[in-house]
Amino acid sequence: MLVIGILHALQINTWNEQQKQNKLEKEYYCRLLEDVMQDREQVTNLIAQSEARLKASNQAVRLLQKEKTRKEEIGTQISLSIRAIYSDFKPNNSAFEDLKSGANLNIIRDKSVIRALNNYFNKVDGFISVIKVNGEHAVAINFSHQDNFANGWVEAYMSRDRFLKGMEQDVYAAMPLDKDGIIAEDMKKRLYNDALYYISSNARQIELYNFIINEIEVLTQLLQTKCPV
């Protein structure tokens, strides 16, 4: 009878331990799902920003196609074409990093989930690297201009809060602004080339962010089978 009692107690302990493991496993699935859903929200916002930049890039080309292009107008659209273009998507990996620490990885019994997570982060890293290079090049093109009085930058930025608030009144009043000025033909051609690159870069970013969304959807569907919401 004593042996039977001990065996029964061991079975209960084993069952209790398994229940704890099952609960912890499900908690990890739900944490992973929460992270990837936050990724979707982040990427959705980045797509919206890219679409706004793409719209501004097209408007810049439209302005440059006119016979005369005003400095303030083109300066504004060019600046909007690259606003936050260097934004870097960083996937949420807190749950996965926690999972990989120590022996926690063994908690996930379905190894297809681990493979899916590794595949997701590897693919996203590849997409991000391309987005980063394109963004860096766009910013470099913009900062390669040596005369911001000639390309409309000064006229566009002087009306913004940071200059209105940052410059003392007498300094601002003495600025040689030419808001109704017209872009010179040589500068116009250069800005035309710049704007065309911004169209290409922003369109590519939208494409890559949508690739990331596709990867998010695949991972979300898998994790939802493990953590129904």
Task: Report pLDDT digits (tens) over 32-60.
Answer: 999 999 999 999 999 999 999 999 999 99
pLDDT of residue 1: 57
HEC-encoded secondary structure of 84-110: CCCCCCCCCCHHHHHHHCCCHHHHCCC
Instruction: Give me the number of domains the chain comprises.
Output: 1
| pTM of model > 0.85 | yes
Residue 185: Cβ-neighbour burial (10 angstroms; 0-12, 13-18, 19+): exposed
Instruction: Give the whole-angstrom CA distance, residue 22 versus residue 226.
Output: 11
Residue 92, domain extent? 2-226
**For 102-142, how does the pLDDT look when each residue is reduced to its tens digit (9 = 90+)?**
666 678 888 899 999 999 999 999 999 999 999 999 999 99
Asked if pLDDT for residue 8 goes beyond 60, the answer is no
Q: Give the span between the Cα atoms of 216 and 222, in whole angstroms.
A: 10
Structure tokens at 200: 């290409």
What confidence category does residue 19 fall into, taking pLDDT thresholds of 50, 70 and 90?
A: low
